[in-house]
Amino acid sequence: MKSEKGSSIITTPVIIAIGMMLVAALIVLAVKILVPYIWYEKLSSTCIKYVFVMEEYGYLTKKEKQNLITELAKQGFEKEKIQVDCTSSVQPYGNQIYLNVAYDYRLQLPFLEEQIVPMEINRVSVSKR
């Protein structure tokens, strides 16, 4: 069999280009899949901050509840999708307090329909008032 040397000059760059496109597509897909975990961590860390506020006051005031929603909106969360449930009356020292924050994240993957990823943070502590 006789091999033609000119054909490898053409096929090698084509194969490399196709391989690079596949790798790029896989990287984009992996990043899109990991993004909800990053959003969950942002939501969780903000909730921890407000649990400390709740411990100090014995509950979450209406003003602080609104501040929580505003802070999450500044981080990129959609206000309409944020649901906050919390201890809403003053609790004496040692009583249980809670903060529940729910958010529905829209995950859009190529070639698939949009998925809703529910995120729910439940934090429980005690009043230190």
Res 125 pLDDT > 90: yes
> pLDDT at position 31, please?
85
- In this prediction, residues 78-89 reach a mean pLDDT of 94
Prediction pTM value: 0.77
Compute, in degrees rounded to 10, the torsion defined by CA atoms 100, 60, 95, 120. Answer: 10
Distance CA 46, CA 30 (A): 25
Q: Tell me, what's the pLDDT at 111?
A: 74
Total residue length of the chain = 129
Convert the pLDDT of each residue in 43-62 to its tens digit.
999 999 999 999 999 999 99
CA dist., res. 76 & res. 42, Å (int): 10
C-alpha of 97 from chain center:
24
Flag whether pLDDT at 29 surpasses 90.
Answer: no
